[in-house]
Structure 1
């Protein structure tokens, strides 16, 4: 079987079970470029949003450290004393930026493939320690793809960096002509915008990498026809087991149906092949409904239970066949059979009164009752 599987081509799409098993092992589609690009863009946006407060904080720190008097310079406690004001200046912008980057880094790495927890990846494997497997990973198709992506990223970023430097070259030179602290603010603002535009260039790699990772993930999980058949057998069970389960289900349903026969008002028979147990309960249904039905051996069992519990058995072949073929269990009889069934129930109720000595013996109903053509079988 293993030889056959290895010789077959993986042409079948992965099944839901295959995808679920891969996910349990931590094997999901991931794009490193998406996470990296998200962090870079978040950094650039963070610098733009927090730039003014960060630049003011840095300017204040430089002012605190570079405007010391002669006595403060030679005082060994000076550096310890200025740490508290430096911390107050930097705590808000720095922590805000750190929390922003942490949140974006987390979201960027789970947006493709979702969040998974699996210990499968850290389990020791012989293949991970095999030199041959290591060489295959180093010089395989995936390694070539990563090399191509690295070259493409470097090329895109380098070209964009050159274009940005050329675009802002004159403005960068004019910084030397500005005065403090406006030139510091201007330089940081300029740096943040250039950094944002440079980070946007990585989106080109992301647009290409995300579809490739999805395609490659599905390609790695593709299955052979034999694997699909084996999985179907494992999931659905062997045919003989399924047959046994269905048989047990039928037996349980049969026992449940037979347990309802003692509650019937009448058993309509054919008289040998068909038997239908009917019940009329105005609280449950506006029309009589079927409690049990069957043919041959099942019909015989229904009649046997009916005799045991002294339930009336009425022979009406056309009506028995019509009810059997048109009505399901616990379903009320069709409108077209109301008249015929009403005659049967009226006969049964009159028969009960007669047996109790409260009336005369009813006239037996005819064997061939009028049945509409659409209910004749």
Structure 2
């Protein structure tokens, strides 16, 4: 054993010949080239359309949609495949994208998206993830084919010219307006409807002993606590109205709501002076019980007189929650779904509270919003309007 160790030491101390160095260098270079060639082939193969749609979950869903899109077939005969839109060109970003793409394989194996039904259930979440990446990179992959400098906007339709000019001026990115260009848009309402369901389920636990509640849907207001099955109320409380709890009896809560009344229009309580943010509409019977507070104040912009007032009545506790943050998150999700699908979503504080009424009225028919959704969205945006900061909103 000691003899073998001695011979090994002698061999290691022996000078290395030039031939050995050349041989090692050639083998190392050859191995590196082979490894790089194999790596390049693998990357190229995984960028191919055939590889991307090899999963049956892709074949049954997004591939079918892609084949009907202008990215697959168009007048110019230029086809963009999956990797053109979803794989970055810069090497480091490309490698990051390749690694993170493994999660798609993981969820396919796990069974998260292995059927069309499961895919549709998760489509909104997946689409939002892709949209967020595109927003973060200023739609980098889109711009690898579509360059602003190469665009002749005068060859676009008049409406497209106007929207493109406005978008460029505001620094918007491609995906801001072009969601659904290659794939079917998700059911944008599914996100906020799921949030509403969770909000309703959690409401009793969060509002059971709270002193202040907020309506998350329109609900009846009663002058007196109903006995038995409640019928039509004496008024209606609108979404996001803040109510102070005075008394609890079973499923009903006696509340006080404060706001403003316009002189001569005493059946509509609004959230702020001269701001038509609806809180309560009242029957003549309920209007007679309104408590007026202080002197009338004139609005300098309109010359109309307004008075602070409060209304007391009974409401069903199931329509209220104490979780204002959850309500704001619900409103933000609804605004994004309704306003951000076709164009850049305007900030709530971009317009005055009263102007939001006309904007929503003009746009609601282009959305999937129900009448109740419209009431909520209008109240949500109005309460964050640019002229509401001084009112404590």
Same fold (TM over 0.5): no
Please tell me whether Structure 1 or Structure 2 has the larger radius of gyration of its CA atoms: 1
> Which gives a bigger RCO, structure 1 or 2 (Cα 8 Å, sep 6+)?
1
Tell me the TM-score normalised to structure 2 length: 0.23
Tell me the TM-score normalised to structure 1 length: 0.24
Hey, which of these two has a bigger chunk of strand by percent? Answer: 2
Hey, which of these two has a bigger chunk of helix by percent? Answer: 1
